Structure 1
Amino acid sequence: IEGKLVPQCEEDGTAEDLLREIQAEKQRLYAEGKLKKKDLAHSTIFRGEDNKYYEQIDGAAVPIESDYDFPNSWDVVRLSKICGFIDGEKNEGRFVCLDAKYLRGKSSGDYLNKGKFVTKGDNIILVDGENSGEVFAVPHDGYMGSTFKQLWVSEAMHLPYVLYFIQFYKDLLRNSKKGAAIPHLNKEIFYSLLIGIPPYQEQIRIANTTRELYARL
């Protein structure tokens, strides 16, 4: 998170180009009806002369708390800048229901004739239940379970880097759920998380090193 896992390389450049690509992608998805207008909200986070972080919102610089000190070659954004929740495409036809039990290998699955369709390789996130915030890779085409949303991550980002970031905060997300009878993912906290945006090649190095470290556990 603080850029200490792998070295920074000047030849990687900065993350500014990535942010422009992300904003253009969100505009395109909004035009296609896949994102909502609120998803286009824009703010700028910067480090002030006092070495503290501020968020520029509607012309005002608002101080924000951060537990981490990000490298100068990184940009800092809210998680909502680079990812979001999508309902999935409504479809008809016989496909298996991709609920949590099925995805964990604890059920042979129920087949449905219609539902919210996702394809192999998509990522879906639990938004209801005790394990809200857990992300699954879709193993094959099917219909999302009712407790899931499709997780959109900008193509400008290295997907494993973002998924490791979300995994890092899994305890926070599970412990900050809303609702009594059926707990729900606290989307406000999810979207407000601060994520450092390294240059793309550095994201790859961080994700690869993280994977190697997990393999040793």
Structure 2
Amino acid sequence: MSNLFSTFDPSTQFLSLNWLSSMIFVLIIPQTMWMIPSRITYLWTIIINKLHQEFKTLIGKSTGSTLIFISLFSMILINNFLGLFPYIFTSSSHLTFTLTLALPLWLSFMIFGWINNTIHMLAHLVPQGTPPILMPFMVCIETISNIIRPGTLAIRLTANMIAGHLLMTLLGNTGSLLSTYLITLLLAVQITLLVLESAVAIIQSYVFAVLSTLYSSEVT
């Protein structure tokens, strides 16, 4: 079991170089991308514009900017994809990484909401149409669900990254024990899982950014 989970071990040192994988994509991007337009930059511009329109709809009439949520989506997406390459540490499979993103965001929303829109935040604790006898219970339930939001954001991303990587590692470790025909089948399954993991990488980064946007829209 220790060998199985060793792929997620950043190291026992004080500062592991594995965490540099979170920013290694900056070194991979060619310098000409910033100066000469290409098909990749054109495609990325289309994606950013679509995300901007969608996030702006979720934020609503408030004057908030979508830039932070698009940046969040981009960073998580790139880290998820980099984790699919061999010998690259998957930083998004650790709560250290995901909580560092989710907790400050949620905390800033809460501070902003309770300072500037206290009445609005108090109204959110009691859903409309709640019977008076159930109001104390609803306040407790809504408070708890609000407090655990950064945890659910972080754990959702971490668990999805770990599950796919563990499954691929488990199947890959059995390759040396199989016959030629079974190895062919195993390769087909691994390729299918890799495609599925690529979809999960996109979906989870999108879900993280969308939920962060929804949480921000509730405090205004």
Greater helix fraction, Structure 1 or Structure 2? 2
Greater strand fraction, Structure 1 or Structure 2? 1
Normalised by the length of structure 2, the TM-score is: 0.27
Greater relative contact order (CA < 8 Å, ≥ 6 in sequence): 2
Q: Answer with 1 or 2: which has the greater Rg.
A: 2
